[in-house]
Structure 1
Amino acid sequence: MIIDLPEGKDPIGYVWGEMVPGIGLPASQFSLSVYEHSKIDLPAFEAARLRIAQINGCIFCQDWRTERDGVKVELGFDEDVENWRTTENFDDRTRLAAEYAERYATDHHNLDDEFWERMKAHYTDAEIVELSMSIGSWLAFGRLNRVLGLDTACVLPGH
């Protein structure tokens, strides 16, 4: 980690909450709202989230699994996300979510009409906006945690 922490401080709480509270606390509220208010089905949500985690290289985010009503994606889902082009385990929505996340993060200038036609065949405009905001959150904050080295200092609840 590149940030010097005072003895006994939780890395995430200190960096996000104490170092820059005017920015970190609202940012964390946005980050949490993506999980609390999303209406995107869990497989598509997790495909997009995990693809960004893989691209960012965030250890914490790659280990995390979103839970809704006691349900999480199955074991091996992360491998399917990494192989979103060829996996037989994804429906069109889930595959598109992984593709959108990857292109959003690495090639956003080339989201062409053909891509948007496919997206609009499977997602409403509101879902596209929601997914876009979610991907933006994961890209920004997962990358921030990775760049600052917080991703290896985080502890998942229950670990």
Structure 2
Amino acid sequence: MNLRMNHRAVNPGAFKALLAMEQFVSGQFEDKVLYELLKIRVSQINGCAFCLDMHAKDLMKLGNYADHILMLSVWREAPLFTEKERVMLELAEAVTQISQQGVPLELYNKVREHFSEAELVDLIMAINTINNWNRIAITTGMYPGCFN
């Protein structure tokens, strides 16, 4: 595998801007497990190996979440996810694949049962941020360990 470009070195200003967004969004989440599950699921949908590797390792640092990682792509059939996690995962999928059906009102209402309006904005920002990272990583040919 070959890294096409080191976006960090080529355009440090762009990297710094997205990193600032990441730092802001990260600070909004008290529940770091929920945040990492969101980033892993979006990265699965987008097929970003670099981000999958990074965030699976980050989640494992928070505890033994191996089963969560293994079952995340089939979360609808896996009983280990809480209702709050399920709603967040459904929203993450809808926003990531927004051109397919948007965010249906029924889903929006389910999200609002578990998250305040401010928390919903935080979720949307987090979903958008990991989507940005995924698109940069995939486009520039990033792979697990490429910066080691």
Task: Specify which structure has the higher proportion of helix.
Answer: 2
TM-score (norm 2): 0.83
Computed over aligned residues only, the root mean square deviation of the Cα atoms, in angstroms, reads 2.3
Structure 1 residue 48 and structure 2 residue 49: aligned?
no
Verify the 8 A CA contact 1:84 1:90 in the aligned structure 2. yes
TM-score (norm 1): 0.78
Match of 2:75 in 1: 84
Match of 2:131 in 1: 139
Q: Which has the larger radius of gyration?
A: 1
Structure-2 change in CA distance of 1:73 and 1:144 (3 Å)? farther
Any residues of structure 2 matched to 1:1-159 within 5 Å, and which? 1=2, 3=4, 11=6, 15-16=7-8, 18-35=9-26, 37-64=27-54, 65=56, 66=58, 71-72=62-63, 74-107=65-98, 109-155=101-147
Per-residue Cα deviation, 1:119-139 (whole angstroms, up to 9, x for no partner): 000111111111110110100
Verify the 8 A CA contact 2:37 2:59 in the aligned structure 1. no
The unaligned stretches of length 5 or more in structure 1 are 5-10
Instruction: Tell me how far apart the structure 1 counterparts of residues 89 and 62 of structure 2 sit (CA, whole Å).
Output: 20
Instruction: Tell me how far apart the structure 2 counterparts of residues 117 and 47 of structure 1 sit (CA, whole Å).
Output: 21
Verify the 8 A CA contact 1:51 1:101 in the aligned structure 2. yes
What is the aligned length?
144
Per-residue Cα deviation, 1:16-52 (whole angstroms, up to 9, x for no partner): 2x311222222222223333x0325233222211111
Instruction: Tell me how far apart the structure 2 counterparts of residues 118 and 51 of structure 1 sit (CA, whole Å).
Output: 19
Per-residue Cα deviation, 1:124-157 (whole angstroms, up to 9, x for no partner): 111111111011010011221012111345357x
Instruction: Tell me how far apart the structure 1 counterparts of residues 102 and 87 of structure 2 sit (CA, whole Å).
Output: 15
Instruction: Say which SS state the counterpart of residue 95 (structure 2) adopts.
Output: helix
Structure-2 change in CA distance of 1:47 and 1:67 (3 Å)? closer
Q: Determine what percentage of the aligned residue pairs are the same residue.
A: 22
Superposition misfits of 4+ residues, deviation over 4 angstroms: none
Structure-2 change in CA distance of 1:40 and 1:97 (3 Å)? farther
Code of the residue aligned with 1:60 in structure 2: it is: F
